[in-house]
Chain A
Amino acid sequence: MSELLQFLFSGLTVGAVYALVALGFTIIYNASDVVNFAQGEFVMLGGMLTVFAYAAGLPLILAAIVAIIVTAAVGVALNKLAIEPARGAPVVSLIIITIGASIFLRGVAQVLFGKQIHRFPSFSGDTPFRIGGATILPQSLWVIAGGLAVFYALYLFFTKTLTGKAVLATSNNRLAAQLVGINTNWVMTLSFALSAGIGALAGVLVTPITNTSYDVGIALALKGFAAAMLGGMGNPKGALVGGILLGIIEAMTAGYLSSQYKDAAAFVVILLVLFIMPQGLFGAKQTERV
């Protein structure tokens, strides 16, 4: 029993990170139909920039804020320099551009930050809590709380604010959104900033547990993508549920099967989703009007 609880805790922690990555995918996908494969690099940048800002003498919280802001700026630059000039290109081309951007960011990170593993201390110590015979790190609670908080903030943003509704309108029909006076270029910029910022936050929260290096982004992007697909691409609720489910599936696979198969879990999930329910758990059924 305590074993199951232990796996559940670790699943929830990783799951919350996947959910944050998946939420990042969701925002950009909603605004532009593009799956941004540089999302994992945003997570890497968040952790990495915090490491260096902290090492430079900033207090941890300030270092984290700086990292999130700089990463959001990188997201905006990605949109302005690589996505916007290719406006009108097929979505597949735009997705390939994001893959290129991901390789580019990884390369720059390797040069700037080196190849070694970096870390910074946990926010509130490393003394684990004991619950029902299992343990959970205080930092895990930070990760889980961060995931839930971002989800709730996004929920409010998209349902209650005019700006959020403008993002949804742009995703639904860009031209119609322009006709009612929505500045769709600004919506795109905002989406990339938000998405990159959320990715960076995930990096800030998880780095004390997992450490970081220039290439952690690839695996996170793939897992986050699997989570978003499982939940239904484009749906914030799907991203949250998909992320946490995937985290738990992974932890259970590692615990009860073999930790060697841990990473396979995500790919089995992608395949099953694509074969059985391509729209995911919460995705809208696609209907094309002819």
Chain B
Amino acid sequence: MSALLSVENLGITFGGLRAVHDVSFSVKPGEILSVIGPNGAGKTTLFNMISGVYQPGSGKVVLEGQDVTGMRPDLLAHRGMSRTFQNLQIFQNMTVLENAIAGFHLTESGNLFADLLRLPGSRGRARTAHQGAMRLLERVGLEASAETNAGSLSYGKLKRLEIARALALSPKVLLLDEPAAGCNAVETEEIDQMIAEVAKSGVAILLVEHDMKMVMRISNHIVVLDHGEKIAEGDPATVSRDPAVIAAYLGTEAAEDADA
């Protein structure tokens, strides 16, 4: 199967700092690709460029054969790209349910006057969005908090709410930035399974995660960044034995020890 999303020689500099330089990779439908690397390696910056939050300085992002480099996030959402954030982007003043319903914005898009007159079509769409949102909340285990104000939820729950909202868009590509951060072992396991299920349904998944056990368990393919450059890529087994990867995480001496 051909690549759904590919990133070609992507780069960006902030002032004199080369935050990301010449990174390329591609993801197929149903594949889970993880981007790993030490803190400050440029993982989130890479995500921000792919999802249109930052304008890349160089390179291309290609989604389903079309160049979408630097396209606005709302237009990318129309094309089937959805993402979550490491530091959360939640509608804090809305309830959990309303946050999830917001994810159905594109499918709900009706006509202003149909909405005002409460025509059956408009009400039907609203009902579909409501039911869909409830199903997703059940899927992430938040159905009991549906009417709670999102601002009062714990970090771990907000993470799951953000995933639910991202899934509401029925994305073709899903970018998850540290979905398991702040979650306990049981929650991490649940998120694990959820990601695997979503991938199985044919969604291409890009994952940034610090929990190495999780990454090694669920990824099909891993890209390793260090100082903004791709230093290795391959399946989990290959990457975990790569001396350059070990050096980046533990320092060169450890890499030599591993060689020895």
**A interface residues, Cβ below 8 angstroms from B:** 156-157, 160-163, 165-166, 169, 172-173, 175-184, 284, 287, 289
Contacts and interface: CB of A to CB of B under 8 A. Distances in A.
Contacts of A289: 92, 151
B77 A181 contact: yes
Nearest to B115: A161
B116 A160 contact: yes
Contact of A179 (B73, B92, B110, B151): B73
A166 B85 CA distance: 20
Q: Which 7 A/B pairs are nearest by Cβ-Cβ distance?
A: A181-B77, A178-B73, A161-B115, A176-B89, A181-B106, A172-B91, A178-B74
Interface of B: 51, 53, 72-75, 77-78, 82-83, 85, 89-94, 102-103, 105-106, 108-110, 112, 115-116, 118, 151, 165-166, 168-169
B112 A172 contact: no
A180 B102 contact: yes
Nearest to A186: B74
A161 B77 contact: no
Contacts of B93: 172, 284
Nearest to A187: B74
A179 B91 contact: no
Given A169-B94, A289-B151, 6 more contacts: A172-B91, A172-B92, A178-B73, A179-B166, A180-B169, A289-B92
Contact of B102 (A161, A169, A175, A184): A169
Contacts of A180: 77, 102-103, 105-106, 165, 168-169
Given A162-B110, A172-B91, A175-B89, A181 B105 contact: yes
A120 to B, nearest CB: 31
Given A169-B91, A173-B90, A173-B92, A182 B105 contact: yes
Nearest to B106: A181
Contacts of A161: 112, 115-116
A282 to B, nearest CB: 14
A180 B84 CA distance: 11
B105 A166 contact: yes
A252 B169 CA distance: 55
Nearest to A179: B73
A160 B90 contact: no
Nearest to B89: A176
B90 to A, nearest CB: 6
Given A175-B53, A179-B82, A183-B74, A162 B90 contact: no
Contacts of B112: 161-163
A180 B85 CA distance: 13
A49 to B, nearest CB: 26
Nearest to A284: B93
A142 B78 CA distance: 44
B90 A176 contact: yes
A184 B75 CA distance: 11
Contacts of B92: 172-173, 289
Given A179-B82, A181-B77, A162 B109 contact: yes
B116 A182 contact: no
17 contacts: A156-B116, A160-B118, A161-B112, A165-B102, A172-B93, A176-B89, A176-B102, A177-B102, A178-B74, A179-B51, A179-B82, A180-B105, A180-B165, A181-B77, A181-B105, A289-B92, A289-B151
B89 A162 contact: no
A144 B247 CA distance: 74
A169 B151 CA distance: 14
B260 to A, nearest CB: 47
B89 to A, nearest CB: 4
Contacts of A176: 89-91, 102, 165
B38 to A, nearest CB: 26
Given A156-B116, A169-B102, A289-B151, A179 B109 contact: no
Given A179-B73, A179-B82, A183-B74, A173 B106 contact: no
Contacts of B166: 179
A181 B91 contact: no
A175 B85 CA distance: 10
Contact of A175 (B73, B105, B151, B165): B73
A173 B78 CA distance: 19
A217 to B, nearest CB: 30
Contact of B89 (A157, A165, A179): A179
